[in-house]
């Protein structure tokens, strides 16, 4: 027997006497299940526990079920694969799905990040639209998904009356506290804006959804934005929101959309936007790159609003590519009410 065979024989004994414990934690993206299986196969083989084809097939079946459960529950979902390889050729593993509500995920931001969470300045695109008003006091704004009040408070400080709707309780408290401290004309509504329109006005000159549509999961939710605007905008009022839009000719597949939702980057095609807006008395007035518009128009020293903002708005949180090769872009979309 040659030296190489002898060497391999003692290596096999080494692995038989080894023990390993670990975890693999990944966002739940059902469309990428092949990657999960490959990763597990590689890790398990790396600790001397190579799976058979039958064992991998069983692992895939379990992963598919848990990924589907987690992703269906929330776009803020993970699966954790815990494994334990005792001093033998055995390997035990357990797959656990975990998820958070959208408001729960944002509440978690407060615990792990330092303020300002979304930047300090109002969006330049929002200020430009509000700046078209002859009299700020007569120009009422609805800020949907107001976050910590970056736009709502910024507009109120400039004299605009603002209704701020925010789902996350801690964010709503931040806006309310700051508005009370500065005696600003801000009404804070803490709830899901799409649950009812009863406590909203019908004469808003501007409706803003900044960094909100990026959390949507369906075209029907997008349609809800146009329905809200139809009911609540004054004649000649404006609706502005930012959304990740696929480049012409590119249609994201399921895996890309799923990873996008996990990365605050839900995306829509132009056809999906047109379908969502169909039948409503609204017309598209402007369509600008968020990255380029904000970089050009924010006050000196305010770009970027946060360290993650440039890559995120360029779609690079989903696509690990140079910006010019990324097939989506976050756009500022401005719609006008047709009188």
Q: For residue range 276-322, what is the model confidence (pLDDT) as tens digits?
A: 999 999 999 999 999 999 999 999 999 999 999 999 999 999 999 99
Does pLDDT of 185 surpass 70?
yes
The pLDDT of residue 109: 67
**Judging by DSSP bridges, how do beta strands 76-85 and 20-27 pair with one another?**
antiparallel
Could you please state the CATH topology (level 3) that the domain comprising 102-337 is classified under.
Answer: Rossmann fold (3.40.50)
What is the C-alpha to C-alpha distance for residues 277 and 91, in angstroms, rounded to an integer? 53
Structure tokens of 234?
Answer: 């004054």
Which band of pLDDT confidence, cut at 50, 70 and 90, is reported for residue 326? very high
- Residues 213-251 have pLDDT tens digits of 999 999 999 999 999 999 999 999 999 999 999 999 999
Cβ-count burial 38-61 (b if 16+ within 10 Å, e if not):
eebbebbeebbbebeeeebeebbe
Place of tokens 């975990």: 98
The pLDDT of residue 15: 76
The pLDDT of residue 118: 83
The pLDDT of residue 168: 92
Does pLDDT of 89 surpass 90?
no
Does pLDDT of 88 surpass 70?
no
Lowest mean pLDDT among 8-12, 135-139, 261-265, 279-283: 8-12
Element spanning 262, H or E: helix 254-262
Percent of the chain with pLDDT over 90: 84
Cis omega before residue 280 (within 30°)? Answer: no
What is the C-alpha to C-alpha distance for residues 72 and 77, in angstroms, rounded to an integer? 9
What is the C-alpha to C-alpha distance for residues 286 and 293, in angstroms, rounded to an integer? 12
Residues in the chain: 339
Does pLDDT of 81 surpass 70?
yes
Does pLDDT of 103 surpass 90?
no
Average pLDDT for the chain: 94
Does pLDDT of 112 surpass 90?
no
**Judging by DSSP bridges, how do beta strands 267-268 and 233-246 pair with one another?**
parallel
Integer-rounded Cα Rg, in Å, for the chain is: 25
Does pLDDT of 256 surpass 80?
yes
- Residues 57-72 have pLDDT tens digits of 999 999 999 999 999 9
Q: What residues does each domain of the chain span?
A: 3-99, 102-337
Overall average pLDDT of the 9-23 stretch: 84
What is the C-alpha to C-alpha distance for residues 190 and 163, in angstroms, rounded to an integer? 11
The pLDDT of residue 292: 98
Please answer whether residues 319 and 264 qualify as being in contact, where contact means their C-beta atoms are separated by less than 8 angstroms. Answer: no
Place of tokens 């609706």: 239
Does pLDDT of 269 surpass 90?
yes
Whole-structure pTM value: 0.92
Residues with Cβ within 8 Å of residue 157, at least 6 apart in sequence:
182, 184
Please answer whether residues 163 and 140 qualify as being in contact, where contact means their C-beta atoms are separated by less than 8 angstroms. Answer: yes
- Residues 34-45 have pLDDT tens digits of 999 999 999 999
Overall average pLDDT of the 167-182 stretch: 96
Give me the residues paired with residue 141 across strands: 162, 206
Structure tokens of 326?
Answer: 């990324």
Does pLDDT of 31 surpass 90?
yes
Element spanning 16, H or E: helix 3-16
Residue 224, CA distances (Å) to 135, 216, 217 in order: 30, 11, 12
Structure tokens of 303?
Answer: 């770009």
């Amino acid at each position: 027997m040659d030296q190489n065979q002898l060497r391999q024989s003692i290596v096999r004994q080494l692995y038989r006497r080894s023990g390993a414990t670990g975890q693999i934690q990944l966002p739940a993206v059902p469309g990428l299940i092949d990657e999960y299986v490959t990763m597990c196969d590689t890790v398990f083989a790396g600790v001397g526990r190579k799976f058979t084809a039958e064992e991998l097939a069983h692992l895939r079946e379990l992963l598919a079920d848990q990924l589907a459960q987690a992703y269906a529950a929330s776009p803020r979902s993970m699966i954790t694969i815990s494994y334990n390889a005792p001093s033998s050729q055995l390997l035990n593993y357990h797959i656990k799905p975990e998820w958070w509500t959208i408001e729960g995920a944002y509440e978690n931001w407060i615990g792990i990040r330092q303020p300002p969470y979304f930047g300090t300045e109002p969006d330049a695109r929002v200020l430009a639209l509000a700046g078209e008003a002859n009299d700020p006091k007569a120009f009422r704004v609805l800020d949907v998904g107001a976050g910590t009040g970056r736009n709502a408070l910024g507009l109120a400080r400039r004299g605009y009356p603002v209704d701020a709707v925010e789902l996350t309780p801690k964010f709503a408290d931040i806006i309310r506290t700051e508005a009370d401290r500065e005696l600003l004309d801000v009404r804070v509504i803490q709830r899901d804006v799409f649950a009812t329109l009863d406590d909203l006005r019908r004469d808003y000159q501007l409706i803003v959804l900044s960094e909100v549509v990026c959390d949507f999961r369906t075209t029907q939710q997008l349609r809800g934005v146009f329905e809200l605007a139809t009911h609540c905008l004054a004649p000649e009022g404006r609706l502005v929101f930012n959304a990740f839009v696929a480049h012409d000719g590119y249609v994201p597949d399921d895996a890309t959309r799923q990873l996008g939702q996990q990365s605050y980057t839900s995306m829509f095609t132009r056809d999906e936007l047109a379908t969502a807006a169909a039948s409503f008395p609204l017309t598209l007035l402007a369509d600008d790159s968020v990255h380029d518009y904000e970089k050009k128009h924010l006050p000196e020293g305010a770009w970027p609003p946060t360290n993650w903002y440039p890559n995120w708005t360029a779609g690079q949180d989903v696509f690990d590519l140079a910006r010019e090769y990324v097939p989506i872009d976050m756009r500022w979309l401005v719609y006008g009410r047709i009188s």
